Structure 1
Amino acid sequence: MNGTVQGALGRLAVAVALLASGATGLAHAQDRVAKSNDPQTQTAVADYNAGNLGAALSEFHQAAVRGSRLAQFNYAMMLLNGEGTAVNVDEGKKWLRKAADANMSHAQYVYGKMYDDGEFVARDPVEAHRWFLKAAQQGHVQAQLALANQFLDGRGTERDNKQAFVWYKKAAQGGDMTAQYVTGSFYERGGDGVDRNLNVARAYYAAAAAQGDPAARLKYQQLSAQLRDQKEVKPQ
C-alpha cells in the first residue's frame, strides 16, 4: 500500500470515529450512529469487535446485499481500510455510495468528506457540498460544521456568511466545540444578520470552554469581565 492511500485511509478512519463517543472499533462506532435491527448485522458487529474480521466482513456483505444501511457502510469501510481483506477502493466506494443513497446520514457525511479531501476521488467541493447538505439536513453535526465551513470559505458554494452562521449554530446546538466557539464569535461581533449579544456570545464560549477549548475559556473570562464592568458603570 502506498503512502498516499495509507494517508487517505487514516483520515477516513478518523471521520468514521467522530461520532463514536469513545467507542473502539469501526463497526461498534457505527452501531451507535445508525442502529440496526437486522440480526446478521448485529452478529457482524459482535464479530468485528471480537476481532473476527473475516467473519464480520462476510456477514456485513450478506446483510449489505439485503439492504442493511449499517452493513453497507461498515462493509464499505472494511474494504477501504483493508480489514479482513485486501484494500478494494472501487468496491468500498460502491457500497459507501449505496449507504449514502439509502439516506444514512453518516455515510453521506463520509462520502462528502471523501470529495472534500480528494481521497480516492478527484477533489470536488461542489459534490462534497451536496452530500454535506443531505447529512446536515438530517441533523448530522459534523456535516453541519463542514457545511458551515464551506459557506464561510466559499468552497463548493457561494460565500454566504449568513448561511454559515445558520449551520454553525445548528452544529453548536448539537454539541460541537468548534461550532460553539465560532457561534460565540458571531454573536460577539454582530453583523451578517446576527444581532450583537455579548451575553449569548459568553454562553456559547462557556459551552466550548466546558469541553476543554482554552481559547473559548479566555473569551468567556474576557466577556465576563466586560459585562461586569458595563453593569458597574451606572449613568450619573
Structure 2
Amino acid sequence: MKWLRQGVVARVAVAAALMTGMAAHAQDRVAKSNDPETQTAVADYNAGNMTAALSEFRKAAQRGSRLAQFNYAMMLLNGEGTAANVDEGKKWLRKAADANMSHAQYVYGKMYDDGEFVGRDPVEAHRWFLKAAQQGHVQAELALANQFLDGRGTDRDNKQAFLWYKKAAEGGDMTAQYVTGSFYERGGDGVDRNLNVARAYYAAAAAQGDPAARLKYQQLSSQLRDQKEVKPQ
C-alpha cells in the first residue's frame, strides 16, 4: 500500500513516545500503585524533588513494584536525580516488562525499534510490541501496525496492519484513525471499500485536531452528497 507510506512515516514521528519525561507519564498508563512509597515517589517526582524520588522508586522497585521499576528505569536512563546509568536503567526496564507491565513492554520495544540505548533490532521490537498490544496498549498497537505495513521486524502483511490500526483507532489514537479511514477509503487487502465508514474514522481524527483528516472528511462528505444527488435514469 504505497499510498499510505508517506503519511504514516510523517505521522509516526509525531505519535512516537519520547523517552524524556516518561517517568511522570507512566502513572497515567497503569493502575495507581497501592504502595505508599511509590505514591510518595511519584509526588516527589512531580514536585521536582528528583533525588528523593529516585531513592523512593529504587526501594519500591526492589520490593517488586512494576510502576516503581519502570519509573526508576526512566530516571536512570534520562539522568534524572543522578548521572545517567544506561545499563542499570535497561535492567530495571526489563524487569518491569517481564512483570507484564504493558507500557514497559512498549517502551522496551521502542528502544529496539529506534536503536536507542541498544542496537537496533526490529525483530526484538516486534516481540515486545506484540506483548503490549495483546494487552490493549494503544501505542503498541500502532507500532505493531506500522511494522506489519512496512515489513519491519516481521513479514509484510497489510491485513494484519489493518487489524492493528483499527484496534488502535478504536482505542482513540488519531494517527490510527486516519490510517484506518484510508484503508476503508481505498479498499483491498481484505477490507471492503466503504466511504461512510472511512468518513467516520476521518471525523474521529479530525475531532482530535488532525487537519489532513478534516480535509478528507470534507472531501468524502462532498463526494457522498454528490453520489446521493445523482439519481438513476
* Alignment TM-score, normalising by the size of structure 2: 0.90
CA drift of 1:157 comes to 0.1
CA contact under 8 A between 2:158 and 2:189: conserved in structure 1? yes
CA drift of 1:35 comes to 1.8
Give the whole-Å Cα distance in 2 for the aligned partners of 1:172 and 1:78. 31
CA drift of 1:166 comes to 0.1
Give the whole-Å Cα distance in 2 for the aligned partners of 1:195 and 1:221. 21
CA contact under 8 A between 2:178 and 2:201: conserved in structure 1? yes
- Over 3 Å counting, the alpha-carbon distance change for 1:91 and 1:70 in structure 2 is same
CA contact under 8 A between 2:184 and 2:194: conserved in structure 1? yes
- Over 3 Å counting, the alpha-carbon distance change for 1:116 and 1:105 in structure 2 is same
- Over 3 Å counting, the alpha-carbon distance change for 1:223 and 1:140 in structure 2 is same
Q: Percent identity?
A: 91
For the residue of structure 1 that corresponds to 2:129, the secondary structure is helix
* Alignment TM-score, normalising by the size of structure 1: 0.89
CA contact under 8 A between 1:165 and 1:186: conserved in structure 2? yes
Please give the root-mean-square deviation of Cα atoms over the aligned residues, in Å. 4.1
CA contact under 8 A between 1:105 and 1:134: conserved in structure 2? yes
CA drift of 1:31 comes to 4.6
CA drift of 1:233 comes to 0.8
Give the whole-Å Cα distance in 2 for the aligned partners of 1:120 and 1:11. 23
CA drift of 1:214 comes to 1.0
For the residue of structure 1 that corresponds to 2:28, the secondary structure is helix
Give matches, 1:130-141, under 5 Å: 130-141=127-138
Q: Structure 1 stretch 170-179 or stretch 32-41: which is displaced more?
A: 32-41
CA contact under 8 A between 1:69 and 1:99: conserved in structure 2? yes
Q: Which residue of 2 aligns with 1:18?
A: 18
CA contact under 8 A between 2:26 and 2:103: conserved in structure 1? no
For the residue of structure 2 that corresponds to 1:32, the secondary structure is coil
Q: Structure 1 stretch 88-97 or stretch 209-218: which is displaced more?
A: 209-218
For the residue of structure 2 that corresponds to 1:17, the secondary structure is coil
Cα deviation digits, residues 186-232 of structure 1 (max 9, x gap): 00011100011000000000011111111111111111011101111
For the residue of structure 1 that corresponds to 2:80, the secondary structure is coil
The question of 1:50 aligning with 2:50 is answered no
CA contact under 8 A between 2:178 and 2:205: conserved in structure 1? yes
CA drift of 1:77 comes to 0.3
CA drift of 1:30 comes to 2.6
CA contact under 8 A between 2:29 and 2:103: conserved in structure 1? no
CA drift of 1:33 comes to 3.2
Cα deviation digits, residues 72-117 of structure 1 (max 9, x gap): 0000000001011110000000000000000000000000000000
CA drift of 1:11 comes to 15
CA contact under 8 A between 2:11 and 2:175: conserved in structure 1? no
Query: Which consecutive residues of structure 2, in runs of 5 or more, have no partner in the other structure?
Result: 1-5
- Over 3 Å counting, the alpha-carbon distance change for 1:167 and 1:33 in structure 2 is same
Q: Which residue of 2 aligns with 1:29?
A: 26
CA contact under 8 A between 2:26 and 2:71: conserved in structure 1? no
Cα deviation digits, residues 135-161 of structure 1 (max 9, x gap): 001111110000000000000000000
CA contact under 8 A between 1:16 and 1:110: conserved in structure 2? no
- Over 3 Å counting, the alpha-carbon distance change for 1:15 and 1:38 in structure 2 is farther
CA contact under 8 A between 1:77 and 1:92: conserved in structure 2? yes
CA drift of 1:49 comes to 1.2
CA contact under 8 A between 1:181 and 1:208: conserved in structure 2? yes
Give matches, 1:46-85, under 5 Å: 46-85=43-82
- Over 3 Å counting, the alpha-carbon distance change for 1:40 and 1:156 in structure 2 is same
Give the whole-Å Cα distance in 2 for the aligned partners of 1:140 and 1:122. 24
Bigger relative CO (Cα 8 Å, ≥ 6 apart): 2
- Over 3 Å counting, the alpha-carbon distance change for 1:124 and 1:17 in structure 2 is closer
Give matches, 1:157-168, under 5 Å: 157-168=154-165
CA drift of 1:7 comes to 24
Give the whole-Å Cα distance in 2 for the aligned partners of 1:186 and 1:14. 20
